[in-house]
Structure 1
Amino acid sequence: MTKSITGQRTVLVTGASSGIGEAVARQFVALGHKVYGTSRNPDAVANPIPGVTYVRLDNEDYASATECAAAVGDLDILINNAGESAAGAFEDTPMDAVEHLFKVNVFGPVALTKAVLPRMRHRRTGTIVMVGSMLSSFPVAFRTNYAATKSALKGYAMALRREVAPYGIRVTTVEPGTIATGIGDRRTIHIKPDSVYREEYETLAAATRRNEAKGISAASMAAQIVEAALAEHPRPLYARGNRAPVVFTLQRFVPRQLVLDLTARIHGLKKVRP
């Protein structure tokens, strides 16, 4: 069993107004920790959690990251969860949409991490958790830009992990698989009505809806994030999803192309070798 950090901790959970972030915040409160949760509009959180202090954070507004870090003060655990889901044809996605997605999913979390690091380093303690996606480990067609943002976030975490380790700071990534949180209803889609990719995209979209309906709960995913955040020596990477044990094990023993073919099949796509 993983050895956990004991005692009350001050935790900041981004994107705490819904989905995984809300579930993570609830679990930290239940464990007796001091919890801050972010929202772009803290006064408009539909179902505020008793015990959570809400602060403003907009991942596209880097100044808000500095203000958020200052409002929280000394922080023990940062959960970089806030982000946006996207799908569609790479060719059909305008560059301003690509830039927006990278700001929300990568540069915003990076800005907040930079803002909280000095205090963590000075205190020689802290844990930073990047909430990624299994699509960064197992990318699939029509999720190109989203997979790229989550791959970038994981890359930051993997490199930063060693960089800040001498100062007592732990960095890890948690990759959710398919989650039943209704995120598909909020997913940004870029596919033109007359797109040559439309038929295959619709096949993937239908498979994604079926998979998400059978996905793990936000509470289950949150439990994995909380476990990673409280681990005394967290692993570089955690993953949780219905197929996570199978696909990560396969990745170790079979050729990469076979894993990519299996990933495509899970998402309803036929095997097509380049």
Structure 2
Amino acid sequence: MSAAAGSKVVLVTGASSGIGAEVARQFLERGHTVYGTSRHPETVTDPIPGVRYVRLDNADYQTATACVAEIGAVDILINNAGESQAGALEDTPIEEIENLFRTNVFGPVALTKAVLPGMRERHSGTVVMVGSMLSSFPVAFRSNYAATKSALKAFALATRREVAPYGIRMISVEPGTIATGIGDRRSIHIGADSPYRGEYETLAAATRHNEESGIDAATMAAVIVDAALAEHPKPFYAKGNRAGLVFTLRRLMPRQVILDMTARIHGLSRVKS
């Protein structure tokens, strides 16, 4: 399908709920042609009128190729879909860590690779990697998730120069705590008798409180949409959790101070190491 004059063809992954749904809605409201992905597009419970849903499973790289082949030319790709994970590293099976990287990193990379040839040939395109502020401010018991989002950011920032000569823009966006209910879908790995269980429960309670009072999905979506449509987008955007202040502190303060501050925000006391 070809877009109307002035509009873009936008592909938003994970568009059936949360930030992805709001991003799809806002692109549509601005007059763009929007495709949203879901592992089961026929079962999307609250479809957005005007959004065309296509199948994509981040853990199945072949679906990335099939998805792009079905849509055709993609002007803007929003890599938003992913899974959340928490727990003690010692208690998490290596297979679960591999699965998380497959879904949160390798799947988005596969989809990006699928759209790049067309963007390069047209000398135009934008790819946004939606990460997490846990990448910049990692905290205990979220190591695997933070690592996947750090990998996404590195892909975006390193590839930015690689594809720039072909008119392609790569952008990394880090949301802070968002009130989307993602905590209800998070996989947890903590043993019943784990020595880490007490501190994990402390962090989990603080995380639930922070998520309940986090910024709404529509506010975060507006940052993503504005960045994707900007004439000269910055390489990196962050929103939520007083991003302006904490990133300034991150530049000025010793790394250990920032790690201790992040731990305290999540209910954990400082431990001298």
Unaligned segments of structure 2, at least 5 residues: none
> How far apart, CA to CA, are the structure 1 residues paired with 2:181 and 2:268?
22
> How far apart, CA to CA, are the structure 2 residues paired with 1:228 and 1:193?
44
> How far apart, CA to CA, are the structure 2 residues paired with 1:260 and 1:116?
37
Partner of 1:71: 70
Partner of 2:84: 85
How big is each residue's C-alpha offset from its partner over 1:161-197, in whole Å with a ceiling of 9 and x where there is no partner? Answer: 0000000000001000000000000001000000000
Partner of 2:40: 41
> How far apart, CA to CA, are the structure 2 residues paired with 1:140 and 1:95?
19
> How far apart, CA to CA, are the structure 2 residues paired with 1:26 and 1:64?
23
Partner of 2:133: 134
What's the offset of the Cα at 1:241? 0.5
* Residue 149, structure 1, aligned to residue 148, structure 2: yes
What's the offset of the Cα at 1:253? 1.2
1:1-80 maps to which residues of 2 (within 5 A)? Answer: 7-80=6-79
> How far apart, CA to CA, are the structure 2 residues paired with 1:256 and 1:70?
45
User: Aligned letter for 1:110?
Assistant: V
How big is each residue's C-alpha offset from its partner over 1:78-125, in whole Å with a ceiling of 9 and x where there is no partner? Answer: 000000000000000001100100000000000000000000000000
How big is each residue's C-alpha offset from its partner over 1:140-175, in whole Å with a ceiling of 9 and x where there is no partner? Answer: 000000000000111111111000000000000100
What's the offset of the Cα at 1:242? 2.9
1:1-274 maps to which residues of 2 (within 5 A)? Answer: 7-274=6-273
- Paired residue secondary structure (1:175): strand
- Paired residue secondary structure (1:136): coil
Structure 1 length-normalised TM:
0.97
Runs ≥4 residues deviating over 3 A:
none
What's the offset of the Cα at 1:255? 1.1
What's the offset of the Cα at 1:233? 1.4
- Paired residue secondary structure (2:128): strand
Question: Which piece of structure 1 moves more, 178-187 or 247-256?
Answer: 247-256
> How far apart, CA to CA, are the structure 1 residues paired with 2:221 and 2:231?
18
Q: Aligned-pair RMSD on alpha carbons? A: 0.9
User: Aligned letter for 2:148?
Assistant: T
Structure 2 length-normalised TM:
0.97
User: Aligned letter for 1:157?
Assistant: A
Aligned length: 269
What's the offset of the Cα at 1:7? 2.4
> How far apart, CA to CA, are the structure 2 residues paired with 1:263 and 1:270?
10
- Paired residue secondary structure (1:140): coil
> How far apart, CA to CA, are the structure 2 residues paired with 1:258 and 1:194?
31
Partner of 1:3: none
How big is each residue's C-alpha offset from its partner over 1:231-269, in whole Å with a ceiling of 9 and x where there is no partner? Answer: 111111100003212210101211111111111110111
Question: Which piece of structure 1 moves more, 38-47 or 228-237?
Answer: 228-237
- Paired residue secondary structure (2:11): strand
